[in-house]
Structure 1
Amino acid sequence: MSQAMKFFLGIFVLLSFFSCSKQESYTVGYLNPSADRYRFVSEGNYMAEKLREMGHEVIIKSGEDDGAIQLSQGYELLDMGVDALVIAPVNGNTIAPLVREAQSRGVKVIAYNRLINNADFDLYVTGDNRDNARLFCETALEHKPSGNYVVFAGDRFDRNGMELKQHIDSLLKPHIASGNVNLLYETHMEGWNRERAAFEMQQVIDAYGTDIDVVIACNDPMGMGALEVLKQYDAHHGVIITGQDALQEAVQSIYQGEMFMTIYHPHQILGVKTAELVDALLKGERPSGLTAVTTFNGAANIATVNIPSVKVTKENIEEVLIQSGEYAWTDIR
């Protein structure tokens, strides 16, 4: 082999090495429901931080709890040339046209926490509704094995709201059948809304009085709405009130002995895990290689990654929320 050929072969090998070793860089868009939705913002920030460490660009948009705004933001991100969309939808039904358009352009789509219906896409990352229902019901039944129960479920048009309610119903059924649990009232709450929960709690009191032992509220705002009304009647003492998301106000209430428990979704763990899944998809990993679990959304069986959550009561605030850095004691006391 001539010296010239050896030279060009060496250059080719060197270029090939750098080409293979260079980290591929992509642009990821994250659509969260609203800048006021603390957990979606916090988890999204952890996801963005991890993706940027991996060499990717991240663009975040907040939808102001308006499905039309979020849809417009999604198309804007597609026109900017994103390679992946992570979507925590305001409305899991009306966002479907954006998902179909993204797929037609070869953009990876990940539904985050809330399922997107009637469209095929790559991955669904969410909590474990069956386990969350268990945490709610076990806590209630441990402390109030008999008595008057109220259930405030999430939005009926949100898959999480429906699934949680179904699992709660299943777990409470034998206790209702035995007569130990008297289910006074149950309803779904549009938008998982605090004000609506307060209104419904007032309706319960108007109809049945203040002899209430348990309020299984499926998120913190609804739990705080129920507590707010019960406190007006000085009827909150000893009532087991649940919540979800470990919002600061709810954790303060738990520390003060008012609300009893919340479910915490470790923001950093969720954000980092989602970033790793997005990175794997962008680099060619098939969804079926990331999880064997699927969720049918009306159009397809979507590969699903379930990430477990943690129950928080007054006894483990230090261990779960303070030591993790989620809050400082000055935020709670």
Structure 2
Amino acid sequence: MDIVRQSSFGSALMFFLSFWSRWTRPGKAHKSNSIPKGTKLIKKVLGAVAAGALLVATLTGCASSETAEGGLIGVSMPTQSSTRWISDGNSIKEKLEADGYSVDLQYAEDDIPTQVTQLEGMLTKGAKALIIAAIDGTQLTDVLQKAADSGVPVISYDRLIRDSANVDYYATFDNFKVGVLQATSMLVGMGVYASETSTSADGANAAGPLNVELFAGSPDDNNATFFFNGAMSVLQPLIDSGVLVVGSGQTDFTQVATLRWDGAVAQKRMDDILVGSYKGGAKVNGVLSPYDGLSRGIIASLTAAGYTASDLPTVTGQDAEVLSVKSMLAGEQYSTIFKDTRELAAVAVTMAVAILKGETPETNDTTTYDNGVKTVPSYLLTPYIVTTDNYKELLIDSGYIAEADLG
């Protein structure tokens, strides 16, 4: 029952109570404590009516607090520190609500116990399905078992949840390709590749040697390994041939990983690399960065060390965050990767709704994503390189970013 009707019941109740108090209040005409016979009857009638109004209002309030017709779906996002995850959460919520479901959307602010507690709370509230972007994909085994015990399906969202048989489906992008695109973009920016379609050194600086540094994402995020491996499939042959030189010597994933995708951590590591490995005028020509937030930290380190827009190395990124697109337009960051998270949200919602309707969700990959216990059926979307040459077409024309937001 809507708010207007609830308000009417409330008004009626207030009227009856006010009327009742006037009839039952001892007045000057009744100096004794006895109540006139007529008043006793009216009191009984008004009392019954008031009680009925109160009961209806109470039931109305209860009805308004129930979940939507489709039921409750829990959506767990890792953090609000990245605009990307805010956008993802909002997109999923809007699409689920449009399909008739109520949504419990929560952000765990990169705290694993908080995410576990939030998920347990969603189950307690009676969530019929969970869509989870994990902070640490290895730390949700117990709570996912609770979900399975309650018959609640789980959609792993963009970050693969590992070490659990209770992950039903995975919605993500082609993460290996993301790394390939990042490496390709860096090589084009440095002049090693003539274009993004090149598969071998054919650019003006094909002979090298050129100095590069490598950064990777959080070691507890399964995607970080895919990004790095995709990039190294392109870069390693050029490192082996001497076209590229990693000045710091740090080429192993464990050496270059950045916990929690923290830009400040990346900035500090870049500071240390510049001090320790680039003395005597040696310059960095390219930096492989897997995420825009890291890219901005890396660029901050480089500019603090004296680099300017005219000699900054080619720095890659990912997620097409507004601040990084602005950085690209300012001649700082070279590129980013556009992953249309609106499409990803739609895939995750379609998966969840299909399961709840007893249908089998569409997938296009059933071999790649082994979480250590099972190979999770997945749907992979396509990522795109974004530079100043095509950002309008990919980001502005698609409505992903408003041109006004770029200043």
Instruction: Report the TM-score, using the length of structure 2 for normalisation.
Output: 0.73
Instruction: Give 2:170's aligned residue.
Output: 124
Q: Is the 8 A contact 1:198 1:229 kept in 2?
A: yes
**Where does structure 1 lack aligned partners over 5 or more consecutive residues?**
1-22
Cα contact 2:162–2:373 (8 A) shared by 1: yes
The answer on whether the counterparts of 2:216 and 2:290 sit within 8 Å (CA) in structure 1 is: yes
Q: Does 1:86 align with 2:149?
A: no
Q: What's the counterpart of residue 11 of structure 1?
A: none
* Corresponding residue of 1:155: 218
Whichever structure has more strand as a proportion of its residues is 1
Percent sequence identity over aligned pairs: 29
Contact residue 265 and residue 310 of structure 1 kept, 8 A:
yes
Structure 1 segment 43-62 matched on structure 2, within 5 A? 43-62=88-107
Q: Match for 2:322 among 225, 248, 255?
A: 248
Query: Deviations along 1:66-117, whole A, 9 cap, x unmatched?
Result: 0000100000000100110000011111112111110111001011111111
Shift of 1:330: 2.4
Structure-2 residue corresponding to 1:215: 287
Structure 1 residue identity aligned to 2:98? E
The answer to whether the Cα contact below 8 Å between 1:45 and 1:271 also exists between their aligned partners in 2 is no
Q: Quick one: higher RCO (CA 8 Å, sep 6+), 1 or 2?
A: 1
SS at match of 1:153: coil
Alignment partner of 1:72 is 2:124: no
Which of the residues 251, 255, 263 maps onto 1:194?
A: 263
State the distance in 2 between where 1:219 and 1:268 align: 18
Separation in 2, partners of 1:92, 1:143 = 34
For 1:306, what is the secondary structure of its paired residue? strand
Aligned-residue CA RMSD (Å) = 1.7
Give the match for residue 297 of structure 2.
Answer: 225
Which stretch shows the higher mean deviation, 118-127 or 290-299?
290-299
Distance 1:267 1:290, change over 3 A: closer
Match of 2:141 in 1: 96
Alignment-derived partner of residue 42 in structure 1: 87
Which shifted more, 202-211 or 72-81? 202-211
Separation (CA, whole Å) in 2 of partners of 1:332 and 1:38: 15
* C-alpha contact (below 8 Å) 2:75/2:89 kept by paired residues: yes
Distance in 1 between residues matched to 2:227 and 2:350, nearest whole Å: 27
SS in 1 for 2:225: helix
Q: Which residue of 1 aligns with 2:4?
A: none
Structure 2 counterpart of 1:271, which letter? A
Query: Residues of 2 paired with 1:199 and 1:31: CA distance?
Result: 30
Does 2:354 correspond to 1:309? no
Deviations 1:287-332 (A, max 9, x none): 5x53442411111111111111222111122111112222222211
CA contact (8 A) 1:26 1:282 kept: no
In the TM superposition, residue 39 of structure 1 has moved relative to its aligned partner by 1.2
The offset of 1:191, in angstroms, is 0.8
Partner of 1:206: 275
SS of equivalent residue, structure 1 residue 302: coil
Question: Structure 2: any 5+ residue segments left out of the alignment?
Answer: 1-67, 193-207, 251-255
d(CA) in 1 for partners of 2:244, 2:264: 27
